[in-house]
Structure formats: structure tokens, C-alpha cells
Amino acid sequence: MDHCIAFFRRKNERRLFEMYVTDALKAISENTAKVVHTDEDGVAMSKRYADLLAENDEPQVEETRTAADIINHIKDKINKLGG
């Protein structure tokens, strides 16, 4: 169980780091574009990495089954396998 918690913690930390770095790079590119293109706003990425991730994430479906439903489902599967 500790392994699962550690895995998800590392995965979350990595995702946060990726969002931090990409936001920093986006800010740098916007600032550089404003300096180089003084007559306009410059050209930079329009979307954040975090926004792209959110667009691709599937909506979370709330679990409506009870523990008894899940246990019965597992028992049915085992019985079908001949257990």
C-alpha cells in the first residue's frame, strides 16, 4: 500500500514540476517576444501546459457501487472461472 501512495505522490510532484517549468518558460518567451517585437505584443504560446493536460483528462466518474456490489462481482468472476 505504501508503494502505491509513494507512486502517486511522485507522479503528482512530477506533474507539478512540469507545470511550474512550462509556466516559467511561457513567461520567459512572452517577455522576450515583447522586447524583440516592440511594435506588437510578440508571439508566444497561447495555452498553458496545465490547460492542455486538463483538456485531455477524462472526467472522473463517481463510484456508485457499494462494497457489497464489488465483492459480489468478484465472487461471480471467480465462480465463472471455476473457483
With a cut of 80, say whether residue 16 has pLDDT above it: yes
Least Cα distance to 23 among 40, 42, 47 occurs for: 47
Q: Is 13 left (phi over 0), alpha (psi -120 to 50) or beta?
A: alpha
Spell out the domain ranges in the chain.
2-80
Q: What is the pLDDT of residue 45?
A: 74
Give the pLDDT confidence of 19-73 residue by residue, as tens digits.
Answer: 999 999 988 888 888 777 665 656 667 788 888 888 877 666 777 888 888 889 9
Q: What is the pLDDT of residue 64?
A: 85
Q: What is the pLDDT of residue 17?
A: 93
DSSP string, 9-60: HHHHHHHHHHHHHHHHHHHHHHHHHHHH-TTS-----SS-HHHHHHHHSPPP
With a cut of 70, say whether residue 6 has pLDDT above it: yes
